[in-house]
Structure 1
Amino acid sequence: MAGNTDDISLPESLDPKAIDAAIAERSWLLRFPPQLEAMFERDTGPQRCHELIVRAYIGIIVYNLFAIADLWAAPHLFMTAFWVRVVFFTPVSLALTASLYLSPPAFLRESIMCLGGGALAIGTIIYLMAASGGSPQPSLHESMILVVLFLTVVQRVRFWYLLPVCLACLLAHSLALAEFYAYPVGPQVATNMVFGAGVIFSLVASYTMERDLRLHYLLSLRDRALNSELDRMSRRDMLTGLGNRRALEETLADCEPSIGQPDDFSVVLIDIDHFKMFNDTAGHQAGDLCLKRVAGIVQAELRGQADLVFRFGGEEFIVVLPKTTLSKAIEIAERMRCAIEAAAIPHPAPAAAPVVTASFGIAGTRLGHRLGAVEIIANADSALYAAKRSGRNQVWPRPASLDTIATMDRALRKA
């Protein structure tokens, strides 16, 4: 009944500890905390509606087939039973079933099943018992237990909705026997006890099935949370916390169709200057701390969620800037360069600058220029080497040429 929830994403606000707490608690009330309950309904509701519709059609067909039993067991009631089943029960039940196509909320969904599969069916049975003229028809009151079983086993109506319906069925069964059939007290008690036992067993089964369903959902939810965390970790560089090469490749693949379209696209390659000297002089642990510091500085200079930074390998980082012109990317890179230099991370190597610096290579594409992501990165790599050849600790193309680049951008857009 839960349906397939493997492809449904988990909200970021969901605390995995809440799932573990719900599993440990196993509330006898068959109710999750509000956030989990909302997720449960979101994930299982549409599939449950589909299953209820299919099973409702089966129930309606079987109910009408009992007209054959009416013909043999109570011929004098056949026409009355036929019209009750076909003219009244079937259209109303079909109308209620059709409302499930709208995927109503849980309260309406379960209430519709209690009304259509329970109240209507029991009501028609009692009507036929009253129309039998005091002539006992055991097949009628005995068929009430089939209604309870249909709601419990076939439709699996949620326990707290099923409970009042089953109790109402038990009361209706007892009153109908006493009112319409002149059974002696002993047979009435025995018949009601059998019916009552069936109701109790059905309620126990309903409670157990829903409890197991909810537990299964929580376990699958925990598995999804663990898989989601593992998937997230597989896309993260463990040292810096940035996206790794796998995440970069997936991001570029997503961006590829839009590159060269109406929006600009730029990338920034960053290389920490003389990092090998840093490692050789201060050791790899100090080098790792330096990498994390620089990664944090670069990340702090991003403009928002659209801008993404990844560890490109070793001491290199790459910043992906969708919808960003080359001139704007140069501005962002210059801001990052200044922030790294201003952090004044001491460089231990005598041959290097006193503080850690970085070189930047920028490349991008403009409207109408159809370049692939690989070509853009290759151009950024060439720009990075140009920055290194020109003395390091600089952005290439240089910010001094921003006005020229902006003028070229406008000319290309007008062309």
Structure 2
Amino acid sequence: MGPLTYETAFERDPPPGAHLASGSCSTKWANMDVQESAISTDRVSPSTKLQVQDPAVLSEVERLLAGRTRDIRLKGKLRLLFQERSWPRTAKIVRAWMTWVVVLDVVTLALNAILLPKAIALSMLLPACLLPPAAMATAFVWQRPRAQWLQRISIIAGLFLIFLSVALVGVSAGGEFYERHLNIMLFVAITAIIIFGVPLNWTVTVASLALGLYLVFQLQNPSLEKGSAVAATLFFASGIIATVVARRTMTILAQKTFLLELRDRSRVAELADANARLERLARTDPLTGISNRRWMMETLDHLWSDGMERRGCAMLMCDIDEFKNLNDRLGHAEGDRCLVKVAGIIQSSVRRNRDHVARYGGEEFLIVLPGVDEREAIAMGERIRGSVEAASLPNPASRVLPYVTLSIGVAAQRPGDEIIPPERLQNQADAALYLAKQAGRNRVVLHKAGALGT
């Protein structure tokens, strides 16, 4: 093969720390760090997770939080995100409220039938029957997200029919029931205004409908003068207006809480990313860009804990021949350049996302080949050695060749053999490397049992 230059070996198949020498376990650890730091985001919808890093959204969040709380107005994406976040809770409240209104209506009718004269109870029956279908239809619409215009019509029309039903029950019964049920209608309206977290214009519409019905029926109340009817309406209007203001304040506080969560989530994500980058840097050799010794030790522990040694594994300990002489003759800058080129050649020779490469020492590289036997490991070593020699990197001070060469020691854990710890397998590869150096360098030597006492 022709000379393998740095550009083709290193740039075509780079070993950046971003994938940690194609070691999948290191990427897994980095992802775990991110997941632990941002665990709170599991409660957020996917679209919110996507938007939380939108610079425009974050800029608007910071702007709103920097101002006064009472001036918070959500618009555009933020408004849609808030509605998406708050809809499940609001829908659950609406459905529960509607269901209990129906239950109370039925119970009240039953009690009236027992306690009140038959004529009065029968007069209440027909207007009371208007309430259950209106409430159930509204609850049905709010079972799942629908178009906002449909939700708005359902909540306003449903509440109007409920108010009308309660008022007509009293109007039909007459007497003491007339004004009592109008007051009950306002009470029902106030509870809906307080607990329904719907947009302010919806709330104002509901409040206006309730007060309008109250005023209309009170003006027709034969036992009440018109001036008293208006005065009573104004009295109750002050209370309902205060309730609407309180509901608006609750909504603003909920929106501020949502904005704070978005900002905190963004900061957590940024911190998780920074931690992941630091973690990658801590496990990456700054010169060559491949993994360092610390990462390799963690990788070996991880592989062995997963039972890799039972499936077979090989280690290659590689050492650049006459590297000290290269530094002395050409300088440390050229030595660093040589290390980077050799690292790139090794990285481009192994199997991506399966094998593991690390700079183990000054000019030493350790390669771990999971699921590889002795024959395959020797073939891999020869391919790497041949590629380094073919690159023709200058080393005029070498006693082997005027080019950079590599000596490689190989040790393998075969399936079914006695399980040995990774440190011992590494020592065997190192012992084989020593034999390769003794035999003249620029060669691949397999460790054999009993060699050098190992």
Is 1:23 aligned to 2:71, yes or no?
no
| The structure with more radius of gyration | 2
Retained in 1: the 8 A contact 2:159–2:206? no
Q: CA deviation at 1:149?
A: 4.3
Aligned mates of 1:360, 1:115 — CA distance in 2: 78
Retained in 1: the 8 A contact 2:406–2:443? yes
Retained in 1: the 8 A contact 2:189–2:210? no
Q: CA deviation at 1:311?
A: 1.2
Taking the TM superposition and a 5 Å limit, the aligned residue runs for 1:15-164 are 22-26=57-61, 29=75, 31=77, 127-133=165-171, 134-135=178-179, 136-138=181-183, 140-142=185-187, 144-152=189-197, 162-163=198-199
Aligned mates of 2:397, 2:446 — CA distance in 1: 28
Retained in 1: the 8 A contact 2:318–2:366? yes
Q: CA deviation at 1:122?
A: 8.4
Q: Aligned to 1:322, which of 370, 375, 381?
A: 370
Is 1:389 aligned to 2:421, yes or no?
no
**SS of alignment partner, residue 313 of structure 1:** coil
Taking the TM superposition and a 5 Å limit, the aligned residue runs for 1:265-414 are 265-349=313-397, 351=399, 353-369=401-417, 370-397=419-446
Counterpart residue type for residue 380 of structure 1: A
Q: Extract unaligned runs of 5+ from structure 2.
A: 1-34, 43-48, 64-73, 172-177, 219-228, 449-454
Q: Aligned to 2:201, which of 140, 148, 167?
A: 167
Post-superposition CA distance 1:242-282 (Å, at most 9, x none): 11122112211221032233x32222211111112222222
Retained in 2: the 8 A contact 1:19–1:218? no
Taking a change above 3 Å as real, the CA distance of residues 52 and 22 of structure 1, as seen in their structure-2 partners, is: closer
Post-superposition CA distance 1:308-365 (Å, at most 9, x none): 2111111111112222222222222211111111111111425453111111112222
Post-superposition CA distance 1:83-129 (Å, at most 9, x none): 9999x989x98x999x9xxxx9xx58x99x99999998887666545
Q: CA deviation at 1:146?
A: 4.4
Retained in 1: the 8 A contact 2:203–2:244? no
Q: Which moved more, 1:313-322 or 1:189-198?
A: 189-198
Identity %, equivalent residues: 25
Aligned mates of 1:318, 1:185 — CA distance in 2: 91
For CA contacts below 8 A with separation 6 or more, give which structure has more relative contact order. Answer: 2
Taking a change above 3 Å as real, the CA distance of residues 7 and 361 of structure 1, as seen in their structure-2 partners, is: farther
Q: Extract unaligned runs of 5+ from structure 1.
A: 153-161, 402-415
TM value normalised by structure 2: 0.61
Aligned mates of 2:396, 2:422 — CA distance in 1: 36
Taking a change above 3 Å as real, the CA distance of residues 198 and 358 of structure 1, as seen in their structure-2 partners, is: same
Post-superposition CA distance 1:168-192 (Å, at most 9, x none): 3432332233235535456646345
Taking a change above 3 Å as real, the CA distance of residues 22 and 52 of structure 1, as seen in their structure-2 partners, is: closer
Aligned length, in residue pairs: 358
Q: Which moved more, 1:323-332 or 1:302-311?
A: 323-332
Q: CA deviation at 1:56?
A: 6.1
Q: Aligned to 2:212, which of 178, 183, 208?
A: 178
Q: Which moved more, 1:291-300 or 1:341-350?
A: 341-350
Aligned mates of 2:207, 2:323 — CA distance in 1: 86
Root-mean-square deviation over aligned CA pairs: 5.1
TM value normalised by structure 1: 0.66
Q: Which moved more, 1:176-185 or 1:240-249?
A: 176-185
